[in-house]
Amino acid sequence: MAIVRSHSTRYRVWATHAGLVAFLGIILFPLLMVISISFRAGNFATGSLLPDNPSLEHWALALGFNYTLPDGTVVEPPFPVLLWLWNSIKVATISSVLILLLSTTSAYAFARLRFAGKAPLLKSMLIFQMFPPVLSLVAIYALFDQLGQYVDWLGINSHGALIVASLGGMALHIWTIKGYFDTLDKSLEEAAIIDGATTWQAFLYILLPLSVPILAVVFILAFITTITEYPMASVLLLDVDQLTLAVGAQQYLYEQNYLWGDFAAAAVLSGFPITLVFLYCQRWLVGGLTSGGVKG
């Protein structure tokens, strides 16, 4: 702690608080606004941040109910938001589980076992991870188009394709888990192996129970990455009922069919849980971000 303080320090602290509050006001404006809009009647309403006469119209539609306007007309939900949310959660959960399984075993090999080509493999995985999948979408589309002719659940317009395609993005997770394994002492596993355990048993019964925290972080990271994935889903999924939220949500804001209020309710409804999960987990993420970056 700095011992020497100038007299102006107190004013500087107050000025900082004032500056931060003003900054937060600007930053949070869009988020507060969209919550406010979700409670306004109609899709073109304007007004103050606190709605003058709140209406649950958009929320009813977002939750999949018909809504009867005051003049008696019945409005049907424009899009199956809950179905999209369910699709997103389904795809994200299955692919996160798969990603976790595969990247944990790989990380184990990279951290503990010796084998030919280990260092170049690790490095090249990280390099290839930098290439955005958007650029090879034509190839990815062609790949699943072909696969779909022989395996139904891997074709275009199937969730299987999206899940399997997300397995390409494991390099970062492998690095994260490997980094954690490196910090754990080898001697426990070595002791187990001397006592007659196989490599697999040492991994399963000794290393894994010690690594639960990092596995949780990687699971959540993978979950958030897949649930917000847009480019591949936009090419691989076609039918309205198959869409994930990330692809479906934009349909609210087409020029010809501008459903601003309905979008606001759907956005808050689906964005809120994801935001909470992220906020809850971010304290683990921060460590991972910088340690991964600095130490490599």
Partner 1 sequence: MSSYVLRSFANGKGFPNLKIGFKLVAGLSLALFGLYLVVALYAQQQIAFALLVLLVLSSAGYVYLNRRAYAHRYAYPAIAGMGVFVIFPLLYTVGIGFTNYSASNLLDLERVQAYHLSQSYQSDAGRFPFRLHAEGDRYSITLDTPDGRLSTKPFIPDGEKLLTLAPQTEAEAADALAMREVIKLRGALSELTLQLPGGDELRLSGLRDFAARLPVYSLQQDGSLVDNRSGERLTINYDEGFYQRADGELVPPGFVVGIGFDNYLKVVTDSSIRGPFLEIFIWTLVFAGGTVAFTLAVGLVLASLLQWDLMRGKALYRTLLILPYAVPAFISILVFKGLFNQNFGEINLVLQNLFGISPDWFSDPAMARTMILAVNTWLGYPYMMLLCMGLLQSIPQDLYEASAMDGAGPLDNLFKITLPLIIKPLTPLLIACFAFNFNNFVLITLLTGGSPDIIGASTPAGTTDLLVSYTYRIAFQDSGQNFGLAAAIATMIFLLVGGLSLLKMRLGKMEV
Residues 150-209 interacting with partner 1 (rule: CB under 8 A): 150, 164-165, 167-171, 174, 199, 203
Minimum distance of partner 1 from residue 254's CB (angstroms): 11
Site string for partner 1, 246-265 (x = CB under 8 A): x--xx-xx----x-x--xx-
Which of 118, 188, 208, 238 is in the footprint of partner 1 by CB under 8 A? Answer: 118
Which residues from 228-247 bind partner 1, rule CB under 8 A?
228, 230-231, 235, 245-246
Alpha-carbon distance of 27 to 181, in angstroms, equals 38
Q: With respect to partner 1, which residue has the nearer C-beta, 170 or 206?
A: 170
Q: Decide: is 20 part of the binding site for partner 1 (CB under 8 A).
A: yes
Minimum distance of partner 1 from residue 185's CB (angstroms): 19
Minimum distance of partner 1 from residue 72's CB (angstroms): 26
Which residues from 58-117 bind partner 1, rule CB under 8 A?
102-103, 105-106, 108-110, 113-115
Q: With respect to partner 1, which residue has the nearer C-beta, 72 or 150?
A: 150
Which of 56, 60, 126, 193 is in the footprint of partner 1 by CB under 8 A? Answer: 126
